[in-house]
Structure 1
Amino acid sequence: MAQRLDRERIVRRALDLLDEVGLDGLTLRRLASDLGVQAAALYWHVPSKAALLDEMATTMLRDLIDQANDELAALAGEPWQDCVQLSADRFRAALLARRDGARVFSGTYLADERLAGWVELPLSILVDAGFSVPDATRGWGTLLAFVQGFAVEEQAQPPGVGEDVEERFAFGVDVIVRGLESRLAAGDVRSVTSDLSRHGHV
């Protein structure tokens, strides 16, 4: 008996096929053939390759959340820098786990709006550490953009090239952390100055 064709089965098989043929080799016709169905049958679930990539990125992110959220939750009360480092490491690992995984994320949109809440936990850790909501949001976005861009470059390199990749990645994350530390310290100074001004001490 043939398996029922649904979005979950399509996306999971697309991710497996991605590992086999890469992003450029992944087409709806190739995927349909692999699933043993007509291409038209896929269009009911994913009307275009762009829509398929959105679904694939969403599934990759959902898998990442399932794996990393408990680790992030365990960091509550720990230095916020640990949260930034763990988030960078886990996001990079998720992108590298799939062939061309970083490119799949480039320019895609989450197909499940509920997953937009995945940033709430790390953002709450940053806000609890003293960051304003705008600074926490921008800092988090900067981190994710760096990791994604780094992973795109990393996956594009031929094997054996860029042996200092781990050092370069660690350096980039450290630059972001130091920038956030500076931003946080500047915010503390502004807050103290504002308090003194209100009380007529400056």
Structure 2
Amino acid sequence: MTKKQAGEDAKSQLSRSAVIDAALLVLDERGLEALSTRAVAENLGVRMNTVLWHVKTKARMLELMADAVLADISYDDLPDAPLDRARELAARYRRALLAHRDGAALVTGTYAAEPHTLRFADHLVDALLQAGTDERGAAWTAWTITYFTLGLTQEEQAAPETGDARLAHAVDPAAHPALQRVLPHLQDNFGERFAFGLEATLSRIPA
């Protein structure tokens, strides 16, 4: 078998889904900064061109990975009440992001108009429409929830180890009196902050 034939054989045996699964493994093991098509190829034991044959570019690979992250969201046993359903969907979205190292940063850096992403968006918008919002309100509230969840989760995944005192040392009581007052509430408690921000967004919708 020639090298060309071996390469074609590797391409035919390897699926795009397998490439994305391998890419997610690299992400979880090394983080987003170390992720590359070459690293994925090494993980699979194939040439980099074989990976590119399936995903075309690194940017496209990242889009497919971002969509695959949302494939883990379950739509079973959702609450009947629309606003409760929106809350639960947002919570499941956050959990899906947290399930992968740098998951929020990955999704934030892409525009994945792909099946799993669109499915989640459709469920969230549907819940908001059923809660009584108009079309623009449902769309913009869904964006607000998504952006807020991505931003807070990205901060959570990049947060320093518990006990890091850099912020406390940086806040000068004389120069930053307001920050000094709220300093205990500026760190950690990501779950409570998520619930607070989500409720602040949904509270404008009449129950």
Q: Secondary structure at the match of 2:72?
A: helix
Deviation at 1:35, TM superposition (A): 0.7
Q: Secondary structure at the match of 2:140?
A: helix
Contact 2:86-2:127 within 8 A present in 1 as well: no
Deviation at 1:115, TM superposition (A): 4.9
13, 20, 28: which one aligns with 2:29: 20
Residue identity in the other structure for 1:33:
E
The residue that corresponds to 1:133 in the other structure is 135
Residue identity in the other structure for 2:110:
T
Structure 1 range deviating more: 15-24 or 129-138? 129-138
Contact 1:139-1:180 within 8 A present in 2 as well: no
The residue that corresponds to 1:57 in the other structure is 66
Residue identity in the other structure for 2:197:
G
Deviation at 1:135, TM superposition (A): 0.8
Residue identity in the other structure for 2:104:
A
The residue that corresponds to 2:195 in the other structure is 170
Deviation at 1:7, TM superposition (A): 0.4
Deviation at 1:113, TM superposition (A): 5.0
CA distance in 1, matches of 2:29, 2:119: 32
The residue that corresponds to 2:95 in the other structure is 93
- Output the TM-score relative to the length of structure 2: 0.76
Deviations 1:35-92 (A, max 9, x none): 111111111111222111101011112222xx1x1233xx23x2x3212211221111
CA distance in 1, matches of 2:157, 2:205: 28
Structure 1 range deviating more: 94-103 or 118-127? 118-127
Q: Secondary structure at the match of 1:130?
A: coil
Q: Secondary structure at the match of 1:81?
A: helix
Deviations 1:107-164 (A, max 9, x none): 3122635752433333223222221121111111110110011111111111216332
175, 179, 201: which one aligns with 2:204: 179
- Mapping 1:188-199, distance limit 5 Å: none
The residue that corresponds to 2:15 in the other structure is 6
68, 73, 77: which one aligns with 1:71: 77
CA distance in 1, matches of 2:14, 2:144: 38
Q: Secondary structure at the match of 2:71?
A: helix
Residue identity in the other structure for 2:201:
I
1:106 paired to 2:108: yes
Structure 1 range deviating more: 104-113 or 139-148? 104-113
Change (3 A) 1:95 1:141: same
CA distance in 1, matches of 2:153, 2:116: 25
Residue identity in the other structure for 2:189:
D
- Output the TM-score relative to the length of structure 1: 0.78
Change (3 A) 1:89 1:118: closer
Contact 1:55-1:111 within 8 A present in 2 as well: no
